[in-house]
Amino acid sequence: MNQKESFIQEIQSRYSYKNDKIILGKAKLDGEIVEEAEISVALKTMNRHGLIGGATGTGKTKSLQIIAEQLSLKGVPTLLMDIKGDLSGIGAPANSEDKNAQERMQSLNLPFDPQGSPIEFLSISDEPGVRLRATVSDFGPVLFSKILELNETQESIISIIFKYCEDRNLPLIDLEDIRRVLQYVTDSDEGKSELNSNYGTIAPASLGAILRKIVALEQQGATKFFGEPSFDVQDLLKTKDGKGIVNIIRLIDIQNQPNLFSTFMLSLLNKIYSQFPESGDSDKPKLVIFIDEAHLIFKEATKALLNQIETMVKLIRSKGVGLYFVTQVPGDVPDAVLSQLGLKVQHALRGFTAKDRKEITKAIENYPTTTYYKANEVITQLGIGEAFITALDEKGIPTPLAYTHMRAPNSRMDVLTFDEINTIVSSSDLVNRYASEINRQSANEILSQKLEQQKNTEKPTTKTTSTKRVPKEKDWTDNPVVRDVSRTATRKLIDLGMKMLNNFLKGKK
């Protein structure tokens, strides 16, 4: 058996599954496409998470698009976090006259079937789409503290504040609510007394530090995100005509707000984990989430935040949810998270600098060893739309590393126009459901009313007490008759005095 026959046999045996699959392309050997060597992923393993990596312009976004649309065809809904704004094309069919796409699919001996996927636009900012909101209570004290990057002492204060609000039925909806509670227990005598007598003393300096952290989060635009109605994550699981809906969160205008991005992502994952039932070993995932430009999450994340993400990655798989991180180099993803990823689609990396070469070495170390390629050399020579791929078979064992010629997307490789986006948004039932913000009575309003009532009660009490404490005694001069007699007598005495003075002066002369 020659090398090519051995290669085909290994690929066919390891990339063969009993259940459904999605096809990504065909393997290459010695620079040629091997038609018999199909590279696919078992649909039931898509909840084992994954990585799509590669330098700018090597085809990461198109690989994401291919996987998402293939999942949609299998009835699996997806959630795409679109940082650059270039994923909307998945909602429209590809150009059937596109010669490059035709030639690529012909070379793979796969049918070219231009079609779009049903899509739903979502937004946490000013982009058009379904408004995504969450309440402060949705986060809980631990996650909310991690988002604010609080130390242990400050985190314990947040836990006390959440408990205080729970005991007194003070709903924490938005950031103004928790700010008001912090101010109330700091500035109000009654608030201080309630907190100290039931939960212990809190240093004003710590409360001040927490307030400053909240202000910093507000400056990143988080006020738009916190509120009601809170988004129901069950709305991510919809299908249309047998196809899974591709939910696209447009995040174009928050590229420079990594903390807000992390806040949103962790809130969403937390709600999905807490609300989705255990899924067991199913034939396909319930939902697959793609996080584009994943380095924005990890680059400035604290250790506590990274631990939270790592924990969520480990646990959320049991809910039938797959997480796929899209970034330039594997080094953008922490090792603890990277070790949890089953599917790896690695496009070309560039070895221009010593740091680049270290990243290449790290990337290669994450793949199974192979005798068919010099992986550290080939990874810098991969063309656009080519990638190293390794996945998990149905037993959870990594498949052999395959130099893969990727299929072309069935959907448009360009973005939708502004009018096309508006048409989709205007016809969405979810947009109308979440359009109007609910401003029900919460902690801010309740405590503001309480403080106002206290102020109004104190003012009349002070006046009444003063009157009773110092009663005014009646003076005999208050009688009008007495006042008239006094004025008359005074005038006569003055006249008599003047006459005596005049007589004395005349006698002297």
Residue written as tokens 């020659």? 2
Neighbouring-strand partners of residue 133: none
Domain ranges in the chain are 3-128+230-435, 139-226
Work out the burial of residue 183: count CB atoms within 10 Å of its CB; fewer than 13 is exposed, 13-18 middle, 19 or more buried. middle
> Which pair of structure tokens corresponds to residue 184?
């109330």
What pLDDT score was predicted for residue 99?
Answer: 94
User: What is the DSSP-derived secondary structure letter of residue 226?
Assistant: B
> Is the overall model pTM greater than 0.85, yes or no?
no
- Of 129, 230, 258, the C-alpha closest to 174 is 230
What pLDDT score was predicted for residue 169?
Answer: 93
* C-alpha torsion sign, points 331, 334, 335, 339: negative
Q: d(Cα 97, Cα 247) in Å, to the nearest integer?
A: 27
> Which pair of structure tokens corresponds to residue 84?
């650059």
SS3 for 444? helix
What pLDDT score was predicted for residue 354?
Answer: 82
- Asked whether the bond before 229 is cis by omega within 30 degrees of 0, the reply is yes
Q: Which amino acid makes up residue 41?
A: V
> Which pair of structure tokens corresponds to residue 198?
């039931």
Any alpha helices (H) in 168-302, and if so which ranges?
175-187, 189-199, 204-219, 258-275, 295-298
Q: What is the mean pLDDT of each run of 10 residues along the chain (509 residues)?
A: 91 94 96 95 95 91 96 97 90 94 95 95 87 88 85 90 92 92 86 85 84 87 85 94 95 70 79 88 92 78 74 89 91 86 93 83 86 92 94 94 96 93 93 86 88 72 47 51 59 66 60
CB 124 within 8 A of CB 130: no
Question: Does the 3-128+230-435 domain belong in CATH 3.90.1150.10?
Answer: no
* C-alpha torsion sign, points 86, 258, 290, 233: negative
CB 343 within 8 A of CB 41: yes
Q: What is the 3-state secondary structure (H, E, C) of 308-325?
A: HHHHHHHHHHHHCEEEEE
Residue written as tokens 């359009």? 435
- Dihedral class, residue 79 (left if φ above 0, else alpha if ψ from -120 to 50, else beta): beta
CB 316 within 8 A of CB 272: yes
- Of 123, 177, 135, the C-alpha closest to 434 is 123
Q: d(Cα 97, Cα 291) in Å, to the nearest integer?
A: 31
CB 390 within 8 A of CB 399: yes
